[in-house]
Amino acid sequence: MTTAICPGSFDPITLGHVDIICRAAEIFDEVVVCVMHNAAKKSPMFTLEEKLSMARRAVEGYKNVRVDSYDTCDGLLAEYAKRFEHPVVVKGLRAASDFDYEFQMNMINKCLNPAVETMFLTASERYTFLSSSIVREVAQYGAELKGLVPDAIIPDIEEKAKQWR
């Protein structure tokens, strides 16, 4: 069985993320949305538990998609991928600058774990501008989130954004 790993901090998960995850679910037997906890990232808006909850609600209904987490204190993504027989890391690309960074990550992952492959999926045109940081900023100003994130998690983001204002 080939397992796709869709890693990210998902702070919060966006419709762009969900688009990549759902497209991967059409290609692979199993997709694991891996919410990565990175202690080096400063000031996340959401706790790991909140991000896991939102990710689960965002992908519920997809039978071959599940949500997991991994703390980078325990190792890098290449280490997490060792849990799977035929792991493929799936990364979404919005722009050429994404490719430069993700290509470097692909090379280090391959160096650390030769069994891991990486697949790049280009973002759907309507999501090329979308990122978690954009969503956080929009939310902090109280602007409309519909069309940026799954409807089911809009109240979570709005409530958290009120605390950040």
Residues that are catalytic? 17, 41, 94, 132
What HEC string does 37-103 produce? Answer: ECCCCCCCCCCHHHHHHHHHHHHCCCCCEEEEEEEHHHCCHHHHHHHCCEEEEEEEECCHHHHHHHH
Among the listed residues 64, 74, 63, the one whose alpha carbon sits nearest the alpha carbon of residue 36: 74
Tell me how far apart the alpha carbons of residues 56 and 26 are, in angstroms, rounded to a whole number.
Answer: 18
